[in-house]
Structure 1
Amino acid sequence: MIIDHLDAPVPGSSLHPTLTGEAYTSAEVFEREQQEIFEKMWNCVLRADSIPSPGQWKTVTVGREEIIVVRTRKAGIKAYHNVCRHRGMRVCTSGDGKNKTLQCGYHAWTYALEGELVAAPNLTSMPDVDREQYGLKSVAVREWLGYVWVCLSDADQGEQPPSFEETVLGEVRTSFGAVESIDNYGIENLRCGESKTYDVAANWKLIIENFMECYHCATIHPELTEVIPEFADGLASQRANGEVHGASFGEQIRGFTVDGSDGVTEFPSIAPDQERKYYAITVKPQVFINTAPDQVIIHRMFPVSESRTIVVCDWLFLPEVVERVDAGELDVSKSVELFHRVNLQDFEACEQTQPSMSSRAYRSGGALVPSEHHIGEFHSWWTQRVEAGSAD
């Protein structure tokens, strides 16, 4: 059962209540989140350049479903439920591969990369079988920022994917003021210089809440607050008087690196007000986008259970930077190390918080200070999404 989120401050104080502890520990709540949030919204699942040629595919988990993402010969990137339409066996039984067709290993039902059924034992003796109807069940796909985004909304049940422009791009407008501002970074043309996967023993919402506020920054992020001193004041907002302003580097800081030393080649098209600035965007439900003048860091979260979340973090640089790294001519370890430490520090805090979510002392939840108002907005959004499902 979900206890209603309260919007009113605690009487006699400036503190606002949080969600209850049960929201972070209940398997029933997690199941509802999977159904009403992750299986109905756009999820960023993988880099498009990780499947560069026709026939290459990867499997990903979204909500409670396993999905095949494949580059086709005729239709670009497509996505399907990893379920054979004959008896339901998984068509792809490993994490990635390259094939001319997709074939189930149980009864050899075979599908074109574009999804239709093309072969099966004795199929020619069953001319009434509609090969489109019995093709792989497709999933909505968009490409943006060089990543593949999918949405599992079920057209057979009358569901349509939410507007990508209003939901995903709308989050960008909130933080950048205009989608064109993020276009200055040319993210779709960048290459991945480093990728790290973190297995975090914490609920996905704790990770989002941590990312949305900087009240903790002075306590656990010494390297980050050295590079961006204003974070030590506990304010994470990138807006001042309604204007987007980003977070400025310290006066003596030369780059977005673990020791403030020079970074790598900056992006050629960033605007003057994006130089020596860091911006951060949360794209609900599972993406963080961080931009600096010479790198973009993108987190993707994949909730596994009410108390476990896989986070994949990519560090993106100009192609020529990555080429020099691959050739052993350039070292980006100081650029990567800054946010790697931030990740480790944040995830440890989340893991130390998760056990308390089941404590009787946190049964009614905790408190938010005024600078954490973004979390309160996230809680309101979460409550509307989850309770809308429970009312069905």
Structure 2
Amino acid sequence: MDNSVVNEKGKIRSTLKGELYTSPEIFDLEKKNIFAKSWLFVGYEYEAAEPGQYITTKVEGENILIIRGKDRVLRAFLNVCRHRGATLCGDLSGKTGIIRCPYHSWSYGLDGSLLGVPKSSECREELINNENYGLEKVHVQTWHGMIWLNLSENPLPAEQQLDTQIMNRFGELETFARYEIQKLRVAHRKEYDVKANWKIIVENFQECYHCSAIHPELTAALPEFKSGVGTQNSVGAGANFNDDLEAFSITGKGSRPMLKGLLPEDDRLYYGMTIIPHVFINLTPDHVITHRIIPISTDRSIVICDWLFDPEEMAKPNFDPMDAVELFHRVNEQDFEACQWCQENMGSKAYKNGGILVPIEHHVSHFYNYVSESIGMKAK
């Protein structure tokens, strides 16, 4: 295998080589060196806000339980009983005063400590007094109201991975913070099963060269996208709404107020950003859209897309998010179809050495360099 994956010649640059989108070996390296070592977005802090409230998820083949303790500390554990390996909490969310295994009724405190071992008086004290038999801990942090997990043994603080990328996107942290994602709630969620490698989905979102060709609704809302220049081409860039637009929605209609933390200069602007390795965040004046990619195989990814709004607006009897939802849902469907067009030919001899980035796409090469360096391959 040729370890040279990115080349640069004059005003054009190479993409990753085709085998990086089809090779099970490469996919395993990415899972081991990127996803098993990075902070990954799995949910929202409000979903486990009260003591005993929990959510479950699956990350890199591990069942995870995220639960709020009686001390109000958020913790994460492998959702696995230490006795015989049964899944402890089978629901996606819930609330409990104790974590009890459904198989043999071993019980654990909300802090993960082993509390009860039924019908085992001979060894009960030995087990309960040994912290090694408590639930296996997983590193968890919250960032702007979002829950992030890291499966590595000694990860750097989440802020080091996440704030750094916000700085690279905006040149400062204040703009992003004004959207106060921690105060928003999910009003609608869509899940997409995309027959494409996760990297194709990331590189597609990072560039807008394709926007005028496949996104008629998006370019009608954000006319400057017709130029092929998106908001991720330069530090701090946002896209202005079409003058006729009242809101970022499929009809262009809407009267929701701006999110409470925003300033007048944030009105009528859209910001898109990629949080490597697997998250997209879209900021609009009255709602925020998040995407998280879950890589399944070399040619399949699940993308979960959430539309978040101010809960006070959501509580109003006439609240209906679907006009806003429909706009980016169409964008998603258009993007994911295009990603599948590409995935179909990643094994072609025409793409053996990769494709081409023209100057308007050059910023995507930073992502290519990140991937190649993470998996130990050269980037020239």
Structure-to-structure mapping, 1:95-244, within 5 angstroms: 95-126=92-123, 127-129=125-127, 130-154=129-153, 160-238=154-232, 244=236
Q: Aligned partners of 1:125 and 1:2: how far apart in 2?
A: 60
Report Cα offsets for 1:205-228 as digits up to 9, x if no partner. Answer: 111011000000000100110111
Q: What corresponds to 1:6 in structure 2?
A: 6
* Alpha carbons 1:6, 1:17 under 8 Å: kept: yes
Shift of 1:38: 1.0
Report Cα offsets for 1:237-261 as digits up to 9, x if no partner. Answer: 4566xx6231111222222111322
Question: Are residue 343 (structure 1) and residue 337 (structure 2) matched?
Answer: no
**Unaligned stretches of 5+ residues in structure 2:** none
Size of the aligned set, in residue pairs, is 376
Q: Aligned partners of 2:62 and 2:216: how far apart in 1?
A: 39
Q: What corresponds to 2:253 in structure 1?
A: 261
* Alpha carbons 1:118, 1:131 under 8 Å: kept: no
Distance 1:144 1:74, change over 3 A: same
Shift of 1:19: 0.9
Q: State the AA in 2 paired with 1:38.
A: F
Question: Are residue 276 (structure 1) and residue 265 (structure 2) matched?
Answer: no
Q: TM-score, normalised by structure 1?
A: 0.90
Match of 1:59 among 56, 62, 65: 56
Structure-to-structure mapping, 1:367-386, within 5 angstroms: 367-386=356-375
Shift of 1:25: 1.3
Q: TM-score, normalised by structure 2?
A: 0.93
* Alpha carbons 1:142, 1:149 under 8 Å: kept: yes
Report Cα offsets for 1:241-287 as digits up to 9, x if no partner. Answer: xx623111122222211132235221233133322111111111111
Report Cα offsets for 1:163-195 as digits up to 9, x if no partner. Answer: 322211111111122222112112111122211
Match of 1:366 among 355, 367, 380: 355
Q: Secondary structure at the match of 2:366?
A: helix
Q: Secondary structure at the match of 1:125?
A: coil
Structure-to-structure mapping, 1:24-103, within 5 angstroms: 24-103=21-100
Q: Secondary structure at the match of 2:132?
A: coil
* Alpha carbons 2:6, 2:368 under 8 Å: kept: no
Q: Aligned partners of 1:66 and 1:29: how far apart in 2?
A: 24
Q: Secondary structure at the match of 1:218?
A: helix
* Alpha carbons 2:283, 2:289 under 8 Å: kept: yes
* Alpha carbons 1:3, 1:20 under 8 Å: kept: no
Q: Aligned partners of 1:46 and 1:179: how far apart in 2?
A: 22
Q: Aligned partners of 1:260 and 1:251: how far apart in 2?
A: 10
Q: Aligned partners of 1:2 and 1:236: how far apart in 2?
A: 33
Q: State the AA in 2 paired with 1:214.
A: C
Q: State the AA in 2 paired with 1:368.
A: L
Distance 1:202 1:263, change over 3 A: farther
Distance 1:320 1:81, change over 3 A: same
Q: Secondary structure at the match of 2:306?
A: strand
* Alpha carbons 1:2, 1:29 under 8 Å: kept: no
Q: State the AA in 2 paired with 1:200.
A: V
Q: Secondary structure at the match of 2:169?
A: helix
Q: Secondary structure at the match of 1:79?
A: strand
Q: What corresponds to 1:352 in structure 2?
A: 341
Q: What corresponds to 1:310 in structure 2?
A: 302
Shift of 1:234: 0.5
Distance 1:38 1:270, change over 3 A: same
Q: Secondary structure at the match of 2:312?
A: helix
**Unaligned stretches of 5+ residues in structure 1:** 155-159
Q: Aligned partners of 2:333 and 2:233: how far apart in 1?
A: 27
Shift of 1:347: 0.8
Q: Aligned partners of 1:71 and 1:7: how far apart in 2?
A: 48
Q: Secondary structure at the match of 2:345?
A: helix
Q: State the AA in 2 paired with 1:73.
A: K
Q: Aligned partners of 1:238 and 1:248: how far apart in 2?
A: 14
Q: Aligned partners of 1:181 and 1:140: how far apart in 2?
A: 28
Shift of 1:103: 2.6
Q: Aligned partners of 2:157 and 2:141: how far apart in 1?
A: 11
Mean CA deviation greater in 125-134 or 183-192 = 125-134
* Alpha carbons 1:37, 1:385 under 8 Å: kept: yes
Q: Secondary structure at the match of 1:358?
A: coil
Report Cα offsets for 1:275-321 as digits up to 9, x if no partner. Answer: 21111111111111110111111111111111111111111111221
Shift of 1:90: 2.7
Identity within the alignment, % = 41
* Alpha carbons 2:192, 2:303 under 8 Å: kept: yes
* Alpha carbons 1:72, 1:113 under 8 Å: kept: yes
Q: Secondary structure at the match of 1:387?
A: coil
